[in-house]
Amino acid sequence: MTACGGRAEPIGRAAVEVDLWWVAHEDGVNLRRGRWPHLFFFPVVNKMAFLAPVSSSCLPKLYPQLSAHDAAVEAKSRVCLSNAYSLIRRTSICKVGFSSHLEKSELRTFKVSSSVTDVSTPEVPVKSSVVKGDSWSIHKFGGTCVGTAQRIQNVANIVMEDSSERKLVVVSAMSKVTDMMYDLIEKAQSRDDSYELALDAVFEKHKSTALDLLDGDELASFLSTLTLDINNLKAMLRAIYIAGHGTESFSAFVAGHGELWSAQLLSSVLRKGGIDCSWMDTRDVLIVTPAGSNQVDPDYEESEQRLDNWLLKNPSKVVVATGFIASTPQNIPTTLKRDGSDFSAAIMGALFRARQVTIWTDVDGVYSADPRKVSEAVILNTLSYQEAWEMSYFGANVLHPRTIIPVMQYDIPIVIRNIFNLSAPGTKICREPFTENEEEQKLETYVKGFATIDNLALVNVEGTGMAGVPGTASAIFGAVKDVGANVIMISQASSEHSVCFAVPEKEVKAVAKALEAKFRQALNAGRLSQVAVIPNCSILAAVGQKMASTPGVSATLFNALAKANINVRAIAQGCSEYNITVVVKREDCVRALRAVHSRFYLSKTSIAVGIIGPGLIGATLLNQLRDQAAVLKEKSKTDLRVMGIIGSKKMLLSDTGIDLFKWKELLKENGEKADMERFVHHVHGNHFIPNTVLVDCTSSTDVADHYHDWLHTGIHVITPNKKANSGPLDKYLKLRALQRQSFTHYFYEATVGAGLPIMHTLRDLLQTGDKIIRIEGIFSGTLSYIFNNFVDARAFSEVVMEAKTAGYTEPDPRDDLAGTDVARKVIILARECGLNLELSDIPVQSLVPDPLKETASVDDFMQQLPSFDSDIATKRQAAEDAGEVLRYVGVVDVKNQKGAVELRRYKKEHPFAQLSGSDNIIAFTTERYNKQPLIVRGPGAGAEVTAGGVFSDILRLASNLGAPSC
């Protein structure tokens, strides 16, 4: 008996290391010939047997040293370890019925190392030449990675730094070379002589790269191969030129040279670096059969055998293989078609049962969404195979789904890494992605990412005659198939009255025509009401394995879409729940993508802000936004980007957000002529921020007149301007009705009491069911200030000027003194309480002297005001004499459905007499606050508090749009 030792190490799930001593003895071996192309040998250990195929013809080549010992044993018992991975199976020696027990999925859990020991006889040095399993790691470098001599050297360095025991490096052609090769064929086919010059360029490119990288024998050898290849190609192209035609396999043969040269170049560079390296022409190994248009199916069994043969002859631990190219079963050169090199690497990963496949590219990994559309898209650390699959199908630049299939069946992870940023860990695509940080996991893994497909059309086949009629769907999709259109998404509600599906826009005409023809009779008879085409659609897909069985994910998604005012045309979700697909209008697609991306916390809640009126309040708001921006981003993940500022004459627009530290200078120096339409289009039309708010800081009626349209187009509006809410009642009612129907927000806290929470308090009272009886108060900061300071011998006009300088007054102080401003506030509150009053319904006592009512400018008015100081001084004195003060108040009498604005006298002890500065005081008398009114008091005018009130409305909007509360 001769015994030779080999070591089989179970790996993966069966993690027990077994020392295996196998026996080569006639009695213990069930040799078969004929039925199997191989001899079989059973290595035995503790009643366990391992079996492996051996090709008798390869034995002498493999183990020449054995011939010196026992030729009979040699012939029968040498294990061709190269093939072991495909047949080894743990089994009891007494159950030798191995053929029915061999299951590939179990086989891969073993690797066979090359260490071989003989214990019972003098040592027989046996070399196991073919080793596969997790000692191999696969790298794939695309054309850009090997685009220049320097980059090839860089690739070589990366390969050398990989500490894996064995490495297979799959390379594409140098960048642009494949296109150059196809161009050669094109030119030759169209009998364009310039193919010769083009071929020279190909030669020069590779020659100069080789000269940069190699020297000595390596250089000479490469150049001689290159020259030979080029001469052959020249002859071949000449033949194509003469025939005016080249077959597909000719093209594949010519095109594949780019890979042949880059593989040889890289392997030469590695050898120059002292690495024992071979290069593999994958056409010798990889066998594929065509599978429909632009697709091929690998023949794994045949490829595996060829690979083993190849490895027997090439035992190097580093192999550089050509990507993209393969052979047909008839040994005719072919290619793996689109994304071929990635596919090559994945197939090789599977054939080698490699530890990992690394795809080197020029991005840091797989993004949660297209970073060109979502600037805050993040690199995903991990993706499951299914997630990667879904993402790639939906247009994410991940991997072609077919690249994932080969590695998926052996649980081999694929890592996508950036060759230009080695510090980035990349994205790992594997069976069960995990995140160490639990919090992060919660946020990240339910929905991993979002992808979109543009240029689609929806087709809606509708009619009462469809319900309960078997075969309708088959007839519809049969017609679609007949015109060769690809159905991307299907949706049918359970009422069965309509079937809706998405097809590429370019195919929709033919589809509609085919359906109309097929259902002509049903349409004429009214059983089908229509075959409708909805053009200009896009698909947005949310992808995540953990969405499955997680309640609330779709609710959150749709909520985010609704809040961004995006209309969803169709929805599809398979019961695998890996993906929720919605169809939206194409122009909404990027906004939709941004909105959902933000909502799932992959980025901030972003709002595009347009500031209208950078006057006192507008400018103060801009400064507050500037000072708080970083905190908001950090703490509440809210990104407020001021995309435009417009005044009455000039505007400043930015595509990415205005630098708020410099907005004044920028507006002054770079500002362009104000154009409201263009401004709104710019702020809202940017495709990067899903939500838009226009903040009207003017007192302009013209600007307020736009609110309805803006809300209608999904733009949120926030304002301290009272004109819209106190303007014509019908317009106001229309505006509020629209606001209630839509998902757009209209906030105006600062219109009453500036930053004081007046509107908020009133809304809370109303919404919780309280009944307002009366609202009374000092609503004017200006008039409060004036009467609080109009004491002793002070002149009325002087105090008015003080109030104006302090920024309490309206742009035109007559709006305050005439009571118009208070009347507007009364109207705003009254309407909020449900009273349908016009401004003219409010009796107002004006403090503007009659002769100054018509004064042209604000300055003229201020200049002339002192001449009327005595009138009001007399009134003040009369009140003083009675122990009273003058206060300008507004009243909303809800019970009697009226309002009033007047100058009243109050006893000095009255709360209204206790105010200071620009304080407002508002008393709400309600059913709940009946004996004691609910009082809100505080400064009710001034730049900081007013801008603060506007800012808090913006944050309220952000939180309504999904920003977390903090």
Ligand X SMILES: NC(=O)C1=CN([C@@H]2O[C@H](COP(=O)(O)OP(=O)(O)OC[C@H]3O[C@@H](n4cnc5c(N)ncnc54)[C@H](OP(=O)(O)O)[C@@H]3O)[C@@H](O)[C@H]2O)C=CC1
**Least distance to Na ion from the beta carbon of 642, Å?**
23
Residue 660 partner contact from ligand LTNE7NMQ, Na ion, ligand X, none using kind-dependent CB cut-offs of 5 to 8 Å: none
Give me the catalytic one of 337, 825, 895, 898: 825
Phi-psi region of 216 (alpha: psi -120 to 50; beta: other; left: phi over 0): left
Residue whose structure tokens are 């509360």:
965
* Candidate segments 56-64, 169-177, 223-231, 720-728, binder of ligand X by CB under 6 A: 720-728
CA distance 653 to 670: 9
The Cβ of residue 345 has, within 10 Å, a number of other Cβ atoms equal to 32
Residue whose structure tokens are 């150049």:
223
Of the residues 9, 281, 588, 749, which one makes contact with Na ion according to CB under 5 A: 749
**Least distance to ligand LTNE7NMQ from the beta carbon of 816, Å?**
5
For the window 157-176, what string marks contact with ligand X as x by the rule CB under 6 A? --------------------
For the window 697-736, what string marks contact with ligand LTNE7NMQ as x by the rule CB under 6 A? ----------------------------------------
Tokens of 322: 């050509």
Contacts of 709 (CB under 8 A, 6+ apart): none
Of the residues 753, 781, 933, 942, which one makes contact with Na ion according to CB under 5 A: 753
Chain mean position to CA 497: 34
Residue 816 partner contact from ligand X, Na ion, ligand LTNE7NMQ, none using kind-dependent CB cut-offs of 5 to 8 Å: ligand LTNE7NMQ
| 781 is an interface residue for ligand LTNE7NMQ by CB under 6 A | yes
| 214 is an interface residue for Na ion by CB under 5 A | no
| 931 is an interface residue for ligand X by CB under 6 A | no
| 754 is an interface residue for ligand X by CB under 6 A | yes
683 vs 752, beta carbon nearer ligand LTNE7NMQ: 752
| 953 is an interface residue for ligand LTNE7NMQ by CB under 6 A | no
Of the residues 236, 534, 571, 616, which one makes contact with ligand X according to CB under 6 A: 616
Classify residue 265 as exposed, middle or buried by CB count within 10 Å of its CB (0-12, 13-18, 19+): buried
Which one, of 961, 366, 952, 364, lies nearest residue 604 by Cα? 961
Of the residues 426, 463, 690, 807, which one makes contact with ligand X according to CB under 6 A: 807
Residue whose structure tokens are 């302009």:
700
For the window 757-796, what string marks contact with Na ion as x by the rule CB under 5 A? -x--------------------------------------
Classify residue 377 as exposed, middle or buried by CB count within 10 Å of its CB (0-12, 13-18, 19+): buried
**Least distance to Na ion from the beta carbon of 668, Å?**
32
* Candidate segments 283-291, 443-451, 745-753, 951-959, binder of Na ion by CB under 5 A: 745-753
Eight-state DSSP code of residue 163:
-
143 vs 614, beta carbon nearer ligand X: 614
Contacts of 656 (CB under 8 A, 6+ apart): 641
The Cβ of residue 856 has, within 10 Å, a number of other Cβ atoms equal to 7
| 808 is an interface residue for ligand X by CB under 6 A | yes
Classify residue 16 as exposed, middle or buried by CB count within 10 Å of its CB (0-12, 13-18, 19+): exposed
Q: Decide: 582 and 540 in contact? Cβ < 8 Å.
A: yes
* Candidate segments 259-267, 515-523, 744-752, 825-833, binder of Na ion by CB under 5 A: 744-752
For the window 921-940, what string marks contact with ligand LTNE7NMQ as x by the rule CB under 6 A? -------------------x
**Least distance to ligand X from the beta carbon of 825, Å?**
9
For the window 776-795, what string marks contact with ligand X as x by the rule CB under 6 A? -----x--------------
CA distance 317 to 131: 9
Strand pairing category for 716-718 and 691-696? parallel
For the window 342-361, what string marks contact with ligand X as x by the rule CB under 6 A? --------------------
Classify residue 242 as exposed, middle or buried by CB count within 10 Å of its CB (0-12, 13-18, 19+): exposed
Which one, of 775, 777, 588, lies nearest residue 687 by Cα? 588
**Least distance to Na ion from the beta carbon of 945, Å?**
9
**Least distance to Na ion from the beta carbon of 725, Å?**
12
Which one, of 420, 406, 330, 433, lies nearest residue 145 by Cα? 420
Tokens of 462: 């509708």
For the window 624-663, what string marks contact with ligand X as x by the rule CB under 6 A? ----------------------xxxx--------------
Residue 825 appears among annotated catalytic residues = yes
Q: What is the DSSP string of 617-642?
A: HHHHHHHHHHHHHHHHHHHH-EEEEE
Cα of first residue to Cα of last residue in the chain, in angstroms, is 79
For the window 792-831, what string marks contact with ligand LTNE7NMQ as x by the rule CB under 6 A? ----------------xxx-----x----x----------
Tokens of 653: 């627009």
Of the residues 613, 690, 938, 948, which one makes contact with ligand X according to CB under 6 A: 613
The Cβ of residue 2 has, within 10 Å, a number of other Cβ atoms equal to 18
Chain mean position to CA 790: 61
| 941 is an interface residue for ligand LTNE7NMQ by CB under 6 A | yes
Chain mean position to CA 467: 38
794-806: b (≥16 Cβ within 10 Å) or e: eebbebbbebbeb
Tokens of 759: 């509107």
| 790 is an interface residue for ligand LTNE7NMQ by CB under 6 A | no
Q: Decide: 451 and 541 in contact? Cβ < 8 Å.
A: yes
Residue whose structure tokens are 């998405």:
502
**Least distance to ligand X from the beta carbon of 697, Å?**
5
Q: What is the DSSP string of 436-463?
A: S-HHHHHHHHSS-EEEEEEEEEEEEEE-
299 vs 953, beta carbon nearer ligand LTNE7NMQ: 953
CA distance 579 to 548: 9
| 303 is an interface residue for ligand LTNE7NMQ by CB under 6 A | no
Residue 30 partner contact from ligand LTNE7NMQ, ligand X, Na ion, none using kind-dependent CB cut-offs of 5 to 8 Å: none
384 vs 788, beta carbon nearer ligand LTNE7NMQ: 788
The residue whose Cβ lies closest to ligand LTNE7NMQ is: 782
| 756 is an interface residue for Na ion by CB under 5 A | yes
In the region spanning residues 857 to 876, those forming contacts with Na ion, defined by CB under 5 A, are none
Q: Decide: 258 and 172 in contact? Cβ < 8 Å.
A: yes
**Least distance to ligand LTNE7NMQ from the beta carbon of 824, Å?**
8
Residue 749 partner contact from ligand X, ligand LTNE7NMQ, Na ion, none using kind-dependent CB cut-offs of 5 to 8 Å: Na ion
* Rg of the chain taking only CA atoms, in angstroms: 40
Binding site for Na ion (CB under 5 A): 749, 753, 756, 758
Binding site for ligand LTNE7NMQ (CB under 6 A): 754, 780-782, 808-810, 816, 821, 940-941
The set of catalytic residues is 825
Binding site for ligand X (CB under 6 A): 612-618, 646-649, 697-700, 702-703, 720-722, 750, 754, 781, 807-808, 810-811, 941-942, 946
